[in-house]
Amino acid sequence: MAEAEGLADWMSKLNETFTTVPLCYIAIPGSHDAMAYSLDMDSPLLEPDSLITMDLICCGCCRSIVKNWSITQDKTISEQLDAGMRYFDLRVAGKPGSSDFFFYHGLYTTITVKEAMEEVDTWLGKHSKEVVILAFSHFKEMSTEQHTKLMTFLKDHFKAKLCPDDGMPSLKDCWDKAYQVILSYDDRNRKQDRVLWPGIKYWWANNSDPNEAILFLDNKKQSGRPKGFFVAGLNLTFYGCSIFSNLTASLKEKTVTAYPLLLDWVKKQRPGSDTQSINIIAGDFFDVNSFAQDIIQLNDAKTN
């Protein structure tokens, strides 16, 4: 079913078996730090803490290094959707002196939340049977009033496309009611809003070694899958010592080198309701290989 090309409408082409099961029981490709393709070199550092003071003292000397290790995607959000991504890890920050909201990963993005969500909404209008999971989390520099403003914007923007948190829907449930957006908002300001889903569990190895990341994920699987949506993160994490010993390298270089091992792990997984199953698998720089295709094909494998 899923070829390397033509993944823009993969949900509509799924085996009928998977259109009637809860969405948390199908394999879904996801984008870790989905907006970290448009980082702004002119913005102040937001992280890591160890470099913020140094960057201020050195008049921005650390920003190019941080950018090399903070860019996680090469594609715009529309291009990611075209390539099959359906889960998006979205980290938002307020920006001093601006009324807009931005994404961030080390640095602020150039693209605003409003611009990105307009892009998503336009894309969904052309792909009526595709459902996306927008996971907002890791908020920075945001007051209660700003949270209220952001939540109001998101609800007003997607309107009838929003699937309420009234139990886990299937694709068919979403199609029948024209729902296309699962909106997760991982903050206490969410309260009990019906159209805002709670935070989604993300299994993060917090390690730069792909072997250790795989071991971590396998150990998590032994404990059983969480209830509802959950993410197995294949993203590698590098900190100060590793970065400063590889100043001419980048996160992309390290990730691409690790992908053969990571994709071998992906191909052994299965979606479903059993305790060892997976749901969302998220990663960085997915476009350099068959990441999305391999995850989507897990749904076919389960029917064999």
Max Cα-Cα span within the chain:
60
**What is the amino acid identity at position 287?**
D
Extract the tokens encoding 174.
């979403």
Q: Which residues contact 126 (CB under 8 A, 6 or more apart)?
A: none
- 231 with 202: CB under 8 angstroms? yes
| Among 236, 230, 232, 231, CA closest to 211 | 236
- Tell the residue number behind the tokens 């601006």, with chain if given: 98
**CA-wise closest residue to 86 among 197, 206, 171:** 171
Hey, is 283 helix, strand or coil?
Answer: strand
DSSP 163: P
Q: How many residues does the chain have?
A: 304
Side-chain-side CA neighbours of 233 within 13 Å: the count stands at: 18
Residue 18 CA to chain centroid, in angstroms? 22
**Residue 105 catalytic?**
yes
Q: Residues 176, 179, 185, 189: is their CA dihedral positive or negative? A: negative
Q: State yes or no: is 138 an active-site residue.
A: no
Contact 74, 37 (CB under 8 A): yes
Q: How many CB atoms lie within 10 A of CB 96?
A: 7
Catalytic residue among 32, 127, 147, 157, which? 32
Residues designated catalytic: 32, 105
